[in-house]
Amino acid sequence: MGNKEINFEEKAVPEPGPGQLLLRVRANALCGSERPQFFDGAPVTPGHEAAGTVVAAGPGTHTPVGTTGVVFLMDFCGECRSCRLGFTNQCLQKRGDMGFSRDGGYGQYELVHENIFFPVPDEFSAEATLLLDVMGTGGHAIERCQLMRSDIESLLVVGAGPIGLAILAMAKIVIGQQLKVLITDIVSYRVKLAERLGGLPINVRETSLSAGIHSHGLVQVDMAVDTSGKQVARQAAVDAIAQRGSLICVGHGEGITLKISPDIIAPERSIVGSEYFRYNELPTNLQRLREHRGYLSQIITHRMGVDQIQQAFEAFFFGCETGKVIIEQ
């Protein structure tokens, strides 16, 4: 990848070493975090939202050949203080990040440590990738919201790209259908998709955030999640949060300027980070995927073959008229 062009390269099929599995990749979802790889290039095969089938297992593993499943992005050690407590998204000695520092899921094969592979029944095929950045990252952000307050009646999601849609969907599933989820974007395709998923849409190209919130019968919101990474959007979100509320930052990117007394101390607001998710959130999310498969699948708007990967990236990054885009092999 690089210079907005995707090139193919022959690579030897790796042999799994001790504790490793070799997967034949079946599907890999595109992600906004691949923008730098698409524009500037990557030293490894990208792709960090892979589903695949075990075709070879190294010494000391117990996963049978033929098992299907998904790959957790962070190659966590399993032994550090964070990992021992289950905070595998905060591993202190991680061995790498799949698709960023290690070969990922756009190749035919992916070599992974067994502890980052999560078995998923065959029947889910490409939809198994929903367990990663959609349900995983989305669900973790909702968990961070609930950690900050238990009485959430309204939530503002800034940005209706795949992660924004994921947070909307997981908020409805985890907190409940009665939750008012307001969701903003400047792309009308994405605003409409968010509305189909049960969100209260605000097109911030056409209206201000505060006018949009008023149009849905509210003055402020209990909590907000930013997926845009844009400073101007985060500032507006902080102003929209009521007392005791938090801004959960999921989208990496720009900064934020706060006036500590009026913005944070007096209203007891907080700014909280949310990074990916913990491996041990996967079993609960698999159960939720079983229960809400049809609803969640609406987030996947495009499925394309690996021969269409260039068009897939162009549609995702330039047209923005997509939800989640999946490359199937």
Q: Give me the residues that bind Zn ion (CB under 5 A), please.
A: 31, 33, 76-77, 80, 83, 91, 133
| Closer by beta carbon to Zn ion, 50 or else 152 | 50
| Residue with tokens 């307001």, as numbered in its chain | 182
Minimum distance between the CB of residue 1 and Zn ion, rounded to whole angstroms?
15
Question: What is the rounded CA–CA span in Å between residue 209 and residue 237?
Answer: 8
What are 183's strand-pairing partners? Answer: 157, 201
| Closer by beta carbon to Zn ion, 91 or else 128 | 91
Minimum distance between the CB of residue 273 and Zn ion, rounded to whole angstroms?
16
Minimum distance between the CB of residue 71 and Zn ion, rounded to whole angstroms?
12
| Closer by beta carbon to Zn ion, 76 or else 109 | 76
Minimum distance between the CB of residue 133 and Zn ion, rounded to whole angstroms?
4
What are 223's strand-pairing partners? Answer: 155
Residue type, 177: Q
Question: What is the rounded CA–CA span in Å between residue 316 and residue 29?
Answer: 11
Distance of CA 199 to the CA centre of its chain: 18
Closest CA to 243 of 148, 178, 175: 148
| Closer by beta carbon to Zn ion, 107 or else 212 | 107
Q: Say how many Å lie between the first and final Cα of the chain, rounded.
A: 18
| Closer by beta carbon to Zn ion, 222 or else 281 | 281
3-state secondary structure of 26: strand
